[in-house]
Amino acid sequence: MLTGDIPGRGGGSWSLGPWHDSWTRAEHAHAVEQVRAAIGRGDVYQVNMVGHASAAYTGDPAPALRRLAGLSGARYGGILTGDGWAIATASPETLVEVRDGRVVTRPIKGTRPATAEGRRELLASAKERAEHVMIVDLERNDLARLPGTGPVRVDELFAVREWSGLWQAESVVSADLDGDVGLADLLRAVCPGGSVTGAPKLAALARIAALEPVGRGVSMGGLGWIGPGHLDLGLTIRTVAADGHRVHAWAGGGITADSDPAAEVDEAAAKAGPLRAALRGR
């Protein structure tokens, strides 16, 4: 965990105000419909739509941010601070890892409540599996673009794991690094992560820019460790930012031709739920 001076306002105990979403449920659902129309025209195959919400706060946010960073199932749980800002993440997803001459990414796509029925639904869902495999193929292509990489392989496909009350489907995609690969080349190949953009990536990014009402800020990027011979960056899903006045959070999901707008809105709310609960102390 990375720590420093976490921005507070007013001192004393932590108090979080009501959340204000940057779009309504109806607006979010309408954006899903627009993506489905774009898919129908052949402009894109899948787009990950992300919504933003913020809440004013007073007092010291440090305990709340630490609660969030400690959520169960977080492969990347920690806090990064700077002058007047702090980022807390409880991400389960690997954007990119390099260790012992091997590059790995672990895309996550597909969500259900962490119940026995939810697990069965996720494993049986043709829509979720098709969406997931599409992103795995995109990540295979991203790694193949790296100079000096050996054959790209899928080490694990559609493995169901739990994150804070939700089942998530994860795959492991890797390649051997046969030569020196610079940090810029690596980040250029994998950023932004396919699971938070869509496919084709550039066309999906154009659709995202046209439809999302607020920028993604620190979310959907990378946060982790860079050292000699070792890099491990988590994708900043399940992440919040505090700016000294407000806390900001983002959540979304992948949209395909078969997406149900109301269900997609509910899925985004389910992903945001543990973050909001942790910040409020529940």
CATH number at 15-100+180-280: 3.60.120.10
**Mean predicted lDDT score pLDDT of the chain:** 92
CA distance 38 to 247: 33
DSSP 8-state secondary structure symbol assigned to residue 217: T
CA triplet 51, 123, 105: central angle to 5 degrees? 60
Q: What is the pLDDT of residue 180?
A: 77
Mean pLDDT computed over 33-45: 97
pTM of the full predicted structure? 0.90
Cα distances (Å, whole numbers) of residue 151 to 48, 80, 131, 148: 28, 35, 23, 10
CA distance 137 to 189: 14
Q: What is the pLDDT of residue 128?
A: 92
Is the separation of the CB atoms in 74 and 163 below 8 Å? Answer: yes
Mean pLDDT computed over 169-188: 90
* 4 has pLDDT over 80: no
Residue 172: name the closest of 220, 108, 76 by CA. 108
Q: What is the pLDDT of residue 7?
A: 66
CA distance 247 to 280: 12
CA distance 218 to 248: 9
Tens of pLDDT, residues 118-131: 999 999 999 899 99
Mean pLDDT computed over 256-262: 95
Residue 200, classed as helix, strand or coil, is coil
CA triplet 151, 106, 99: central angle to 5 degrees? 65
Q: What is the pLDDT of residue 5?
A: 58
Token representation of residue 101: 């001459």
Residue 102: name the closest of 189, 13, 174 by CA. 174
CA distance 275 to 174: 30
Tens of pLDDT, residues 54-99: 999 999 999 999 999 999 999 999 999 999 999 999 999 999 999 9
CA distance 273 to 10: 26
Q: Which residues are catalytic?
A: 93, 109
Structural Rg of the chain based on CA atoms: 19
Confidence of residue 139 (pLDDT cuts 50, 70, 90): very high
CA distance 232 to 215: 25
CA distance 142 to 152: 10
Residue 58, classed as helix, strand or coil, is strand
* 255 has pLDDT over 50: yes
Tens of pLDDT, residues 91-106: 999 999 999 999 999 9
- DSSP track, 110-155: EEEESSHHHHHHHHH-HHHHHHHHHHHHHHHHHHHTSTTEEEEEEE
- DSSP track, 63-102: HHHHHHHT-TT-SEEEEEEETTEEEEEEE--EEEEEETTE
Residue 75: name the closest of 223, 281, 175, 247 by CA. 223
Instruction: Map out the domains of the chain as residue ranges.
Output: 15-100+180-280
Q: What is the pLDDT of residue 1?
A: 37
Confidence of residue 147 (pLDDT cuts 50, 70, 90): confident
Tens of pLDDT, residues 203-229: 999 999 999 999 999 999 999 999 887
Q: Work out the number of other CB atoms within 10 angstroms of the CB of residue 34.
A: 16
